[in-house]
A = this chain, B = another copy of it.
């Protein structure tokens, strides 16, 4: 049976993700522990950073699969640490607008930096031509995934 380029892509993607997940999850998780944050808190920050605009408390809870009460408590701690801002929604005063602060973004950036080691190894192992090839492909991949949930 002939395999389509799309099928090949899926197969390769699964393989690559196996490696990537092993490298990144591990580091993300240790990063969280070292900074005294829970994975959930990191996930909340990521979610806020991901769809740029302000989120409601309940949308965050839903995104994380926890109750609104839990989300509210979780956000308390993030606010306390200055990682997010909680303001009233002028259009609906029942609702709150949650946005990530610069400090919060910094933290996420720093967590990315925890990935740096293996990325640099990769950088050292590829030729300039290979680097260009991979860069191009990744840029394409990122573009295609830009708006995926």
Contact of A39 among B14, B29, B144 (CB under 8 A): B29
If A33-B65, A118-B148, A149-B118 touch, whether A26 touches B12 (CB-CB below 8 Å) is no
Contact between A6 and B123, CB atoms less than 8 A apart? yes
Contact between A141 and B122, CB atoms less than 8 A apart? yes
Residue numbers in B under 8 Å from A18 (CB-CB): 112
Kindly provide the distance from the CB of A2 to the nearest chain B CB, expressed in whole angstroms: 12
Kindly provide the distance from the CB of A54 to the nearest chain B CB, expressed in whole angstroms: 18
What is the copy number of this chain in the assembly?
2
Residue numbers in B under 8 Å from A119 (CB-CB): 10, 13-14, 17
Question: Which residues in window 1-47 of A have CB below 8 A to B?
Answer: 4-10, 12-26, 28-30, 33, 39, 43, 46
User: 22 A-B contacts, Cβ less than 8 Å apart?
Assistant: A5-B135, A6-B131, A9-B122, A10-B119, A13-B119, A13-B138, A15-B138, A16-B139, A16-B142, A19-B142, A21-B28, A21-B46, A22-B50, A23-B145, A23-B148, A23-B149, A24-B25, A30-B65, A126-B140, A130-B140, A133-B140, A137-B138
Known interface pairs A8-B135, A22-B46, A137-B137; 8 further A-B residue pairs with C-beta atoms within 8 A, sorted by A's residue number = A5-B132, A6-B128, A16-B138, A17-B119, A23-B148, A24-B25, A26-B46, A122-B141
Residues of A within 8 A of B (CB): 4-10, 12-26, 28-30, 33, 39, 43, 46, 50, 65, 112, 115, 117-126, 128-142, 144-146, 148-149
